[in-house]
A and B are shown apart, each in its own frame.
Chain A
Amino acid sequence: METTIEVNHLCKAYGRVNAVNDICFSVRRGEIFGLLGANGAGKSTVIECILGTKKYHSGSVAILGMNPVTERKKVFEQVGVQFQEANYQDQIRVGELCEVTASLYKTHSDYRLLLSQFDLTDKIKSPVRELSGGQKQRLFIVLALIPAPEVIFFDELTTGLDPKARRDVWKSLSELKGKGMTILLSSHFMDEVEALCDRIMILKKGECIFCGTVEQAIVESPFDKFEDSYLWFSEGASYESI
């Protein structure tokens, strides 16, 4: 299978602190790859280094075989991104934000369909800032999907969503994956990771401490539940299950 995201020996430091140290992984087309780790473990930094919004010190990164910094215009025709923080104009309405987002791409999906798929059709005239946390999060997923991307990045995919909305998002993403979309996501929810991710990487203080499938993670740990295995990996061998 074709590799869509390739990260080799990525290193990034803030001052003397290593934020990301020698990270290597590759994601194939149609795969969902999860980045896990405690807050501050370096998930967002890895994502931003891949996207080119943060500079890295050494290593290399390629999306769809291209350098996201030097071939930015070409790469981001085919890449959708949802950042952790909201980035929209103060008074802008849902429909306007979608319209402007769609206009940035040569080809794009019909945002009205996406809004209805994520149950936001009746919010099209509402100011974005008046949406609830869950509605905003769903809108940001819609925005990331507007370019009809081949590769998509979600930083904290379903934070703030209620259980029903999370299930709906999982279902949509599984369908997109079925159509060959590559997804890289970071998440704090182990049920989500188990349900969605083909492979995962667990980060701790910027270093990779596990990379493989969820099943492998369980096998390599002394536990039989993934959440326990994850905590065992990220907190060290002293972790004890409740």
Chain B
Amino acid sequence: MIKICELYKSFGALQVLTGVNLSIEAGKITAILGPNGSGKTTLIKSILGLVKPDRGEIQVGGEVLNGDCRYRNAIGYMPQIGRFPENLSMQDLMKMLTDLRGGVHRDENDRLAQFSLHQEMDKPLGTLSGGTRQKVSAILAMLFNPKILILDEPTSGLDPVASSVLKDTLVTERDTGKTVIFTSHIMSEVEELADVVVFLLDGKIQFHGPPDEILRDTGEANLERGIARIMQDRATA
């Protein structure tokens, strides 16, 4: 579904991605892990075209990214921190994006109810709490039934109820054939959801495969210790 080839990106003197090669399979949940500053967000933003890579190639659905924006029709994105025009309401925003995408959005009433967002629909987004804005972000990401869902630390800032609703939703989306990519620091969440784990360190991919493989390779009991072991081994090597 998504193929990344020799991707390099630096911000000034800071090398963030140093030759990332990755292919993300369709119909699976892929978790991107890595310590803070390891380039997870930069990688995601490169796929979205928000960050322009210095070198390398990205393919989405067989098409090489070259500045044409149409491939983003197939992508729904939930950013780490949802930033919206402050004096628009969620209703306005949904209308606007629907108009812009020139299509119909799918019925989100169930999910709005699960997230108990119905009362917040007409309030200006600037007045909503951080967690509520995260919920709005999640709804917007899934609004157009995209084939690929990209979520940057989706559960941070959500309460346990909303967080479980979101996780269930991701599994449902996967089961209907969507490709889901998310980043996270919460290992239990990764163990619960991910079919494939990608571990990013120092701008390179250190591990790519199913979570059991990490456990098998490192001989640790859980993912958190497995990841920690990989990092220690790297540090001593």
The yes or no verdict on A and B being binding partners is no
Which residues of chain A have a CB within 8 Å of any CB of chain B? none
